[in-house]
Chain A
Amino acid sequence: MSAPEKQETLQERREFLKAGAVVAGAGLASGVLVFGAAHSRPPEQAATADRRWGMLIDTKQCGDGCNDCVTACNTENGLDGKTGPQDSQWIRKLNIKDLRNGRVHELPMLCQHCEHPPCVDVCPTGASMKRADGIVLVDRHTCIGCRYCMMACPYKARSFVHEPLTEQNPEVPRGKGCVESCTFCVQRVDRDEQPACVEACNAKGHQAMIFGDLMDPESALSKALKSQASTEVRADLGLNTGVRYQGI
């Protein structure tokens, strides 16, 4: 197929996707963010600082023992789902107990997509990077696997790939010798879909996660943050995380 034809097909698919997003939006309960046509960025346009992607996680809504966000992440990104000390985990469920009163609850922990990311500060090669729209990524082409960033991250959000991998998802290249972490499913975000974890959580009916643009006052995320109290984990570090929590 020639290049222009391919472009055309791509365009058609984008249109299809937009239409699909509207239909899906109609079928979903209120409070679920569906960012449709208004947000789309053409493929030839670079991400800009006009947007900053973020997430709000309501731990009160997070289901006891539910692991759907983790499973969805593993499927989307080609992780094997093992949880040993040398296995990759981009999102994991934590159980938290307040020792003073015994209150127990759960929350998903992932890369917080910090505005001032320590992982980027310490990286000697420039592989750890923050994209213009706030998504923190590892450029595996330049990562030398020194793991400084893993030590610097206050949220234990990063993993190192110890063994050779095969059968990767074509959209999510991963390989031995590089550090990796949650990408907010950047491949999905770039085509106006939500991260896999958010989609799975909503599908399950928990609706504990809202994903969206922190810079857009009209986004469901901004509205929720404006109307309800939320916190950053380790707000004392002043990293201005892109992921916020409620109920912790």
Chain B
Amino acid sequence: MAKLADWLRLVVLAGVAAVLAVPSFQAAAGVGLPKLERGKGEKCVEDTQFMRRNHMELLKHQRDDTMRKGIRTTKHSLKGCVECHAGSQSGSVAAGKDDFCMACHVYTGTRLDCWDCHATKPGKQSFFGTGAAAGQAAASPRNPAHNQGGGQ
């Protein structure tokens, strides 16, 4: 009797293992890694592998420097990321699930709040903004005519 019970247990365990194994096989076959559109620039401001793991740290550091101290270097600025990585179709980094930020963030299931406040599209080229001659202050800051993408 004891032998039979052992044998049964083995069968059940094997069955469970097989059932568990199936979805992972499917996962391996069916869900590909996110496909990212290439940025407009030649290369990223840091090594790609480094950026994958650390972009949030760089952004957080830069945000405090810029916001609280007024340091406005462009290397790690979010605006720079957007200018380079806005999708060629959507013109945005976060309009759809295929856009640059969303592709990975949807894949990893991590929500991000950046775009509640920050523009997801490159905007006016600020250096020529309203100009000292001023009447042009009325021209829309988001005038598509000023949209020069990442070609800064």
- Within 8 Å by CB of A75, from B42, B67, B68, B140, lies B140
Q: Give residues of chain A (29-52) contacting chain B, Cβ–Cβ below 8 Å.
A: 34, 41, 43-47
Chain A residues, Cβ within 8 Å of B140: 75
Chain B residues, Cβ within 8 Å of A137: 67
Interface flag for B38 (CB, 8 Å): no
Interface flag for B25 (CB, 8 Å): no
Chain B residue nearest to A21 in the complex (CB): B132
For the A-B complex, the count of residue pairs with Cβ-Cβ distances under 8 Å equals 137
Chain A residue nearest to B127 in the complex (CB): A13
**Minimum CB–CB distance for B65 against chain A, Å:** 8
A9–B152 contact, CB under 8 A? yes
Chain A residue nearest to B113 in the complex (CB): A175
A133–B137 contact, CB under 8 A? no
A7–B74 contact, CB under 8 A? yes
A129–B73 contact, CB under 8 A? no
Q: Taking chain B's interface residues, is the majority helix, strand, or loop, or is none over half, making it mixed?
A: loop
- Within 8 Å by CB of A76, from B79, B135, B141, lies B141
Bound together, the chains give a CA A71 to CA B117 distance in angstroms of: 21
Q: Kindly supply a per-residue 1/0 record for chain B positions 134-152, scoring 1 wherever the CB is within 8 Å of any chain A CB and 0 otherwise.
A: 1101111110000000111
Bound together, the chains give a CA A7 to CA B117 distance in angstroms of: 26
- Within 8 Å by CB of A168, from B73, B117, B137, lies B117
Q: Give residues of chain A (165-224) contacting chain B, Cβ–Cβ below 8 Å.
A: 165, 167-171, 173-178, 186-188, 190-191, 193, 196, 199-200, 202-203
Chain B residues, Cβ within 8 Å of A168: 117-119
B65, B68, B74: residue with the most chain A Cβ atoms closer than 10 Å: B68
- Within 8 Å by CB of B79, from A27, A170, A176, lies A170
**Minimum CB–CB distance for A85 against chain B, Å:** 22
Interface flag for A17 (CB, 8 Å): yes
How many chain A residues touch B (Cβ–Cβ < 8 Å)? 61
Chain A residues, Cβ within 8 Å of B135: 203
Q: A140-B117, A170-B119, A196-B130 are in contact. Are A129 and B68 (CB under 8 A)?
A: yes
**Minimum CB–CB distance for A210 against chain B, Å:** 15
Chain A residues, Cβ within 8 Å of B152: 1, 6, 9
Chain A residues, Cβ within 8 Å of B131: 20, 24
- Within 8 Å by CB of B71, from A45, A78, A174, A193, lies A45
Chain B residues, Cβ within 8 Å of A13: 127
**Minimum CB–CB distance for B51 against chain A, Å:** 13
Chain A residues, Cβ within 8 Å of B122: 170
B132–A190 contact, CB under 8 A? no
Chain B residue nearest to A176 in the complex (CB): B116
**Minimum CB–CB distance for A135 against chain B, Å:** 8
Name the 6 nearest CB pairs between A and B, nearest first: A24-B132, A175-B117, A203-B134, A47-B70, A170-B123, A46-B69
Measuring CB to CB, which residues of chain B are less than 8 angstroms from any residue of chain A?
Answer: 40-43, 45, 63-65, 67-75, 79-80, 82, 116-119, 121-124, 126-127, 129-135, 137-142, 150-152
